[in-house]
A = this chain, B = another copy of it.
């Protein structure tokens, strides 16, 4: 089997591949650009099996880099542009990236990291330099990317995704949502997230087109919907809410809104349906190359709040604390297995030859299956906050807060928010003042702590509200009483 863009360009060279703003490219054109990028990558020394970090917004060049790395056998390490230099440095060091590619405006973020990096721009698309297709051939079990998810232990984890993971994800998505030769998928999710990257691979395999947006810009998205024959769009709840707030009508071409990235609030789904928006709810995971379960609009109407059945070849089971399978309607941990489940979290051995599919992944998320086999999410893993579609792990934020010399202890929780789904908030116990009574340190304000976080954490992870206390509530066993903190924080006026 060929690398997929090569296969696609043979099957439908003239099919539309990509639109960005008013520009558009067919597969044959994309293929030429990818050859240009391959030449530049080879000049930079990239060979089969190397890890290449990419710190860029969604652009034509980024799209071409994804395909070029697949063509050369390099492994993509997509880096979140919202991270701080320190956060980026950790991920780059952790994966021992051989090279990091960055746009000029983001290069300053790499200044504190000891890595080889290169500025990439549009000049990479065209070149007269030759490049040599590597001897080693493409294989489904090769690693395509290491995609970081925030870690529960305070450190991010790199999900190792193979081409087979994407292949089966695209196939199962096509057989669930349908695919039409003239599909045009609006994607405003970043390519460094699995949801954004999955749209690229799907479209390449299907031979359909992507309308790629650098970010969620309300005006630009609405303009695309008004002027292009968009048939599908991937959104997180915050985005859908904002679109519903601004649009009077929706285009007839739009056959599906894939709503992921957080619990699909029944109210939002019902509101969208009342506006005539065909919402399909989905439950996705970086660790399973995006969609795990999806419910089509006609079913969502009947069961708002469910995320539907597992996609073809994916298996979902609900287990108790001892790993025993639970009957319908009983709450437990969601275990996902099938050919889309990652090869594992990255570890230092960097092994590229990964065993066959059907891995199993314990998500930590709590849910249940109903009598019909439809999945309902009860809560994402208890330690996960989903804010505007970005995952925030409290442990990571708490670890930073505790680095502040005045902080004795910290508890970070997500509070419900109509616009963002959840917002990050923190309750903090300051160290007792020297020689004083155990009262909060008068010298440190919430603003100081916010500033402290800003240097160390991506913006979306910084607590929107910080409340200082003398001591955090504890459980009988001496652990922080997270639920009690969350309840208390909800009582405090913003």
Task: Give me the interface of A with B, judged by CB distance under 8 Å.
Answer: 1-2, 7-8, 10-14, 171-172, 174-181, 205-207, 296, 309-313, 315, 339, 357-358, 372-373
Q: Residues of B contacting A310 with CB < 8 Å?
A: 10-11
> Which of A11, A181, A296 has the most C-beta atoms of chain B within 10 angstroms of its own C-beta?
A11
Q: How far is the CA of A11 from the CA of B339 in the complex (A)?
A: 14
Report the minimal beta-carbon distance from A368 to chain B, rounded to whole angstroms: 17
Q: How far is the CA of A309 from the CA of B178 in the complex (A)?
A: 22
Partner of A12, one of B8, B309, B313: B309
Q: How far is the CA of A176 from the CA of B10 in the complex (A)?
A: 13
User: Which 3 pairs from chain A and chain B are nearest by CB?
Assistant: A178-B180, A11-B312, A175-B206
Contact indicator B179/A1 (Cβ below 8 Å): no
Q: How far is the CA of A441 from the CA of B2 in the complex (A)?
A: 61
Q: A10-B310, A175-B179, A178-B181 are in contact. List 12 more A-B contacts (CB 8 A).
A: A1-B313, A1-B339, A11-B176, A11-B309, A11-B310, A11-B313, A13-B373, A175-B206, A176-B207, A178-B180, A205-B312, A207-B312
Which B residue sits closest to A168, measured CB to CB? B1
Report the minimal beta-carbon distance from A181 to chain B, rounded to whole angstroms: 5
Q: Residues of B contacting A2 with CB < 8 Å?
A: 313
Q: Residues of B contacting A13 with CB < 8 Å?
A: 372-373
Q: How far is the CA of A339 from the CA of B172 in the complex (A)?
A: 19
Report the minimal beta-carbon distance from A297 to chain B, rounded to whole angstroms: 10
Which B residue sits closest to A171, measured CB to CB? B171
Contact indicator B315/A207 (Cβ below 8 Å): no
Q: How far is the CA of A174 from the CA of B174 in the complex (A)?
A: 8
Which B residue sits closest to A177, measured CB to CB? B181
Chosen A-B contacts, 14 in total, with CB atoms closer than 8 Å, are A1-B357, A2-B313, A7-B312, A10-B373, A11-B309, A11-B311, A12-B309, A175-B179, A175-B206, A176-B207, A177-B181, A178-B179, A178-B180, A180-B180
Q: Residues of B contacting A8 with CB < 8 Å?
A: 312
Contact indicator B1/A175 (Cβ below 8 Å): no
Q: Residues of B contacting A178 with CB < 8 Å?
A: 178-181
A174-B175, A207-B175 as given contacts; A10 in contact with B309, CB under 8 Å:
yes
Q: How far is the CA of A358 from the CA of B140 in the complex (A)?
A: 14
Q: How far is the CA of A225 from the CA of B206 in the complex (A)?
A: 29
> Which of A10, A205, A207, A372 has the most C-beta atoms of chain B within 10 angstroms of its own C-beta?
A10
Q: How far is the CA of A463 from the CA of B398 in the complex (A)?
A: 86
Which B residue sits closest to A183, measured CB to CB? B178
Q: How far is the CA of A313 from the CA of B176 in the complex (A)?
A: 22
Contact indicator A179/B179 (Cβ below 8 Å): yes
A1-B339, A205-B175 as given contacts; A181 in contact with B296, CB under 8 Å:
yes
Q: Residues of B contacting A206 with CB < 8 Å?
A: 175
Q: How far is the CA of A150 from the CA of B327 in the complex (A)?
A: 53
Report the minimal beta-carbon distance from A384 to chain B, rounded to whole angstroms: 27
Q: Residues of B contacting A174 with CB < 8 Å?
A: 174-175, 179
Report the minimal beta-carbon distance from A182 to chain B, rounded to whole angstroms: 8
Q: How far is the CA of A357 from the CA of B139 in the complex (A)?
A: 12
Q: How far is the CA of A175 from the CA of B8 in the complex (A)?
A: 10
Q: How far is the CA of A472 from the CA of B312 in the complex (A)?
A: 60
Report the minimal beta-carbon distance from A253 to chain B, rounded to whole angstroms: 15
Q: How far is the CA of A174 from the CA of B11 in the complex (A)?
A: 13
Q: How far is the CA of A358 from the CA of B372 in the complex (A)?
A: 40
Report the minimal beta-carbon distance from A336 to chain B, rounded to whole angstroms: 13
Q: Residues of B contacting A171 with CB < 8 Å?
A: 171
Which B residue sits closest to A296, measured CB to CB? B181
Report the minimal beta-carbon distance from A6 to chain B, rounded to whole angstroms: 10
Q: Residues of B contacting A339 with CB < 8 Å?
A: 1
> Which of A175, A181, A206, A339 has the most C-beta atoms of chain B within 10 angstroms of its own C-beta?
A175
Q: How far is the CA of A210 from the CA of B2 in the complex (A)?
A: 32
Q: Residues of B contacting A315 with CB < 8 Å?
A: 10
Which B residue sits closest to A358, measured CB to CB? B1
Q: Residues of B contacting A177 with CB < 8 Å?
A: 181
Q: Residues of B contacting A372 with CB < 8 Å?
A: 13-14
Q: Residues of B contacting A11 with CB < 8 Å?
A: 172, 175-176, 309-313
Report the minimal beta-carbon distance from A84 to chain B, rounded to whole angstroms: 41
Q: How far is the CA of A296 from the CA of B14 in the complex (A)?
A: 13
Q: Residues of B contacting A296 with CB < 8 Å?
A: 181
Contact indicator B313/A7 (Cβ below 8 Å): yes
Q: Residues of B contacting A7 with CB < 8 Å?
A: 312-313
Q: How far is the CA of A10 from the CA of B174 in the complex (A)?
A: 17
